[in-house]
Amino acid sequence: MSRSSYFHQLAVLLLYARLASCVSVSIPVAAPSSAPTIASDYISFSIEQDRWTDWVGTTSRNQFFFNTLDNLNALTGAPPQIRIGANSEDHTDFNPNIQFSQAVFPPPTTTVPYPEATSIVVGNGYYQAAQFLPANTHVIWGVNLGQNNITAAFLEAKSIVKAFASSAIRNAGITLDAIEIGNEPDLYKNNGLRSSSYTSTQYVQEWTNFAANVSAAAGISSSSHTKFWGASFAGSSHSTTGFSPQAIFKEGILNSNAGSFISTISEHRYSGSFCSGSGGLLQDLMTKSTIRSNLTQFTPDITATLNNGLDYVLGETNSYSCHGAPGVSNTAGAALWTLDYLLFATQIGISRIFFHEGIGFKYNLIQPITLTRSILDGSTLSTPLPPHIQPQYYAAIIAAEAIGSTGNSRAVELSINNSRISGYAFFENNKLVRAVLIDSQAFFTTTTTPRGVTHVDLSITGSGAPTTMTIKRLAIPHAGDTSGLTWGGQTYETSDARVSGTLQVDTANVSDGVDIHDTEAILLTFSD
């Protein structure tokens, strides 16, 4: 055999091994004791405060946004929780003479086509608009700490409570779970809201003072449903110094009367800061090991929070800063990142995850209004873009189906000896019911080799092990695509965000296993 022929055959064999590899996955038939219970509203949203009424409506409901939330409600039995706040939270003041809101925005740039407001003044109708959320929605609202104006925070809290006491909101079962005082105070020393020497000790002192006034305004007490979110840090030192849950616990934030009303510690996480995307960056985002390292660094914070009897949430999270990286955050590959990211977070003690959304942000799951500028570079669109979902929304739908509507779903990550394939099993009443598999190997339009496929052998042993399953696939033409995805043959890329098309699922024997392709996610539903 010639040398060139040998290397040609070797290349073919290596390619075949990649294209038709195989992994074995063991799935427990009953929930392990370590499997956490997943809240029905685990998948939730953080909304940039400056354009809140664009999302929800003013005198009537934004039906498109409502439908996106209602889709998830129909799958899990609970609508997503909604946090309203973020950067513009610390630029908001109250004026009872304003009906809804008045905002001042800086000019758009190619990097930030839809910037946050530098000033927003709101009135009672702004908070009353929560009446247009789905029934039984739980809400967390942010008030201004950044401007160090305790009167503004007090008046905002009074108006929030007034809105949630109204018959329209109360009769719909929409509840105010918490008030958040300030957004990312650890960045105040960098953005001009405090001196460069600002410390967590000073934050605790300020927060305690504000919380005493806000709790009086809002009627927050040991017996009230409404509590406080604490921290809401952009980053963490993960130690007892600097800005972290451990540090503010050590500095006594829980010891005051108002501090005793903290129910939840919130921290924020973005996978990086990069503002002009690339295909390589998308593969980095999707990679299994990167997702895990981005989240497990918070384990000390989570442990300290749970040890204090509090919930821990990612109160604001998404892919990349600058509202997302163009050609990355708005793509189908980001949908697979979202799915693996949110499911892995359940395994390390995170009780809910709030994906951040803003009008025209690149990483949105949902674009709720017509856009006239490109989300990628701010250029004027030749044709306005009507409300639509983006690829990441499919991740929320898949996760919602996997969690189910019983309210007692538990999940465990599956051990899979493959750097690109992740898996999770879901249990109801201790019994295996579903599994999600995710292949994060990016398949691009520029990929020069055929699309890879991995055969997954499933091993389910024990009494009552299922023998048959249905297979539902998230079909993605290419990782960089921004539309054209289908979930079980159906699409949510419709004018009203309601699912359309004929459902397509396959039925197979568990013993046959299942094939999964590069850049694909599948849901297995088991039956006896």
What are 374-424's pLDDT values in tens digits?
Answer: 999 999 999 999 999 999 999 999 999 999 999 999 999 999 999 999 999
Cβ neighbours of residue 113 under 8 Å, at least 6 residues apart? Answer: 360, 373, 374, 375, 376, 377, 378
Give whole-number Cα distances, 16 to 8, 19, 385, 453, in Å: 12, 5, 43, 10
Q: Quick check: 274 pLDDT over 80?
A: no
pLDDT at 278: 67
Distance separating alpha carbons of residues 528 and 266, to the nearest angstrom: 41
Name the DSSP class of 31: -
Task: Specify the pLDDT at position 285.
Answer: 94
For domain 43-403, the CATH superfamily is Glycosidases (3.20.20.80)
Q: Which tokens in the block code for residue 158?
A: 């009074």
User: By C-alpha distance, which of 473, 468, 463, 469 is closest to 503?
Assistant: 473
Q: Quick one: pLDDT at residue 519?
A: 98
pLDDT tens figures, 320-331:
988 999 999 999
CB-CB neighbours of 339 under 10 Å: 25
pLDDT, tens digit (0-9, with 9 covering 90-100), for 77-94: 999 999 999 999 999 999
Write out the two tokens for 214: 């806000």
**Per-residue pLDDT reduced to its tens digit, 457-488:** 999 988 899 999 999 999 999 999 999 999 99
DSSP 253: T
Question: For 359-372, what is each residue's pLDDT tens digit?
Answer: 999 999 999 999 99
Fold of domain 20-35+408-527: Immunoglobulin-like (2.60.40)
Q: What is the pLDDT of residues 13-46, one digit of tens each?
A: 344 444 468 999 999 999 999 999 999 999 999 9
Query: What is the domain partition of the chain in residue ranges?
Result: 20-35+408-527, 43-403
More confident residue, 426 or 271: 426
Structure confidence at residue 276 (pLDDT)? 66
Res 5 pLDDT > 70: no
What confidence score (pLDDT) does residue 3 get?
A: 43
User: In angstroms, rounded to a whole number, what is the distance separating the alpha carbons of residues 436 and 440?
Assistant: 13
Residue 119 has pLDDT above 80, yes or no: yes
